[in-house]
Amino acid sequence: MPDKNTGNRQQNGAYPYTELYQRLKKHLDSVAIVDCHEHLPTEANPKTDGMEKHIGRFFLHYAGCDLVSAGMPQADLNAVKSSDNKLSPADRWKKIRPWYEKAWNTAYCECLRIAIRDLYGIEDFSDKTVNQLQEAIEKNVKPGFMRKVFDKARIDIAMNNLWDRPVFYADQPHDCFIPDMRDSFTNFPFDDFCGESGLEIACLDDYLEMIDWYFERYGKVAGAFKVGRAYDRTLLWQDVPRSDAERVFNRMLAFNDRPDRKDVQALEDFIMHILCRKCGECGLRMKFHTGIQEGNGNIITNSRAALLANLFMKYPKTGFDIFHISYPYQEELVAIAKNFPNVTIDFCWMWIINPAAARRALSDMLDAVPANKILGFGGDFLFVEGSYGHAQVARRQIARVLAEKVQEGRFSEDYAAQVGQMLLRDNAIECFDLAKRRKAFAGMKKTAKRV
């Protein structure tokens, strides 16, 4: 097990770096971040409030995946994450400890150590601290906690994506959040759509009318439109004739005729092209999950951003924000973003996937891509402590890259500071038109309260 004190000195940013680095890091620490992507649940709904009050909350995703990668049985991780009140903190830690020690080196685990150190005053997970950490969680994790953590992290705006409504969830954790629309349209949850919209779906025209209903209702108030289908299919979306899509759709509605996966994928492709046009009409930037998929085991080649090139070309009026820098295909994305005016690069999640690869990618991008096209941070967490730790990692790594650019003689120190502000704040506000959309969302919520 590594020496904890040495590890935490590194987490505190006490690197043997130059005064230049320290000045740039201090500047980045002062920037009020626009967080381009989160999955933080509402605190108002007891069924979906994400308020697990046990140490397993830190392994809901990401770090838990590294434990499984190290060899932890999935059943043990499921038990650690469960809400089973019979499991004591010691019981959970006993299952975590051998695998956490093996995965201690990863940025996922470092991110957690930063969070519990800064937010709870605890240096690391250990036999000696597990009960102390449990007590701190019980004391702090309650309504209002997210706001306190975001204030400490200097996160000003967060674009949020919740999963328990088919497309849009207006009840956000607090007023700095702006929600994204979410693509459920290519999954066809008919009952959910009909229940929310009040419309009936008996044919493809009805389905397209229902899509129109959602865009008319939310297209001007959402922050963006998120597509996460790289988890279960290729990101190549063919241009399918309407007649072919309609035949598949009618079969899907029939109780005794289920189309096969190939046919359903063709229908999904047709609908995605509809969505690209709708987003362009609404000025709604599309966020695509690309690159590594969260979890343990998937088909990584399905998720490379280059597969989206036909959409970039066909819909030049639609903006496309490419998540997770398409890692490990980030070099392809450099070429794509350099060539397509409607494509931006998003570092959400990336700083804790592989910090060294993220630094190299940012350095390459700052040599090749206009700086206004790079969005520097998105926490992408289910629990707010992770967002905090991730923000600290991001500031540290971005400062390293910017310092190197100054040392190379490519940037002045003033310009490096300006780029840091762009990466962490200004670019996201401009790319997503957040000043306008945040105001529109606040107005929608105010109107709903009066009604």
**How would DSSP label each residue in 95-119?**
HHHHHHHHHTTSHHHHHHHHHHHHH
Q: What is the structure's pLDDT at 36?
A: 98
Average of pLDDT values for 272-280? 98
Helices (H) and strands (E) in the chain, counts: 20, 9
Give Cβ neighbours of residue 415 (< 8 Å, ≥ 6 apart): none
* Residue range 318-360, pLDDT digits in tens: 999 999 999 999 999 999 999 999 999 999 999 999 999 999 9
Q: Which residue has the higher pLDDT, 13 or 119?
A: 119
- The rounded distance, in Å, linking the Cα atoms of 287 and 363 is 23
Q: What is the structure's pLDDT at 416?
A: 98
Portion of the chain with pLDDT greater than 90, in percent: 86
Average of pLDDT values for 153-165? 92
Q: Which residue has the higher pLDDT, 174 or 422?
A: 422
Is the Cβ–Cβ distance between 126 and 77 less than 8 Å? no
Kindly tell me if the per-residue pLDDT of 246 is higher than 60. Answer: yes
DSSP, collapsed to helix, strand or coil, labels residue 344 as strand
Kindly tell me if the per-residue pLDDT of 451 is higher than 60. Answer: no
Q: Which residue has the higher pLDDT, 411 or 48?
A: 411
Q: What is the structure's pLDDT at 336?
A: 98
Question: Tokens at residue 106, please?
Answer: 């990863």
DSSP, collapsed to helix, strand or coil, labels residue 289 as coil
Q: What is the structure's pLDDT at 46?
A: 42
Kindly tell me if the per-residue pLDDT of 16 is higher than 70. Answer: no
What predicted TM-score, i.e. pTM, was given to this entire model?
0.94
> 38 — alpha (psi -120 to 50), left (phi > 0) or beta?
beta
CATH architecture group of domain 145-450: Alpha-Beta Barrel (3.20)
Is the Cβ–Cβ distance between 388 and 149 less than 8 Å? yes
Neighbours of 233 (CB within 10 A): 17
Report how far apart, in Å, the C-alpha atoms of 366 and of each of 135, 337, 422 are.
44, 12, 12
Q: What does the H/E/C string look like for 220-258?
A: CCCCCEEECHHHCCCCCCCCCCHHHHHHHHHHHHCCCCC
Q: What is the structure's pLDDT at 258?
A: 83
> What is the band of 447 on the pLDDT scale with cuts at 50, 70, 90?
confident
Tell whether omega for the bond before 89 is within 30 degrees of 0, i.e. cis: no
Is the Cβ–Cβ distance between 235 and 307 less than 8 Å? yes
Q: What is the structure's pLDDT at 11?
A: 44
Phi, then psi, of 157 in degrees rounded to 5: -135, 140
- The rounded distance, in Å, linking the Cα atoms of 49 and 381 is 14
- The rounded distance, in Å, linking the Cα atoms of 133 and 135 is 5
* Residue range 36-78, pLDDT digits in tens: 999 998 876 544 445 578 999 999 999 999 999 999 999 999 9
Kindly tell me if the per-residue pLDDT of 108 is higher than 60. Answer: yes
What is the b/e burial string over 211-231, where b = at least 16 CB atoms within 10 angstroms of the residue's CB? bebbbebbbebbbbbbbbbbe
Instruction: Estimate to the nearest angstrom the gap between the alpha carbon of 162 and the chain centroid.
Output: 11
Domain spans of the chain, in order of start: 53-141, 145-450
Strand residue runs (E) in 352-397: 374-375
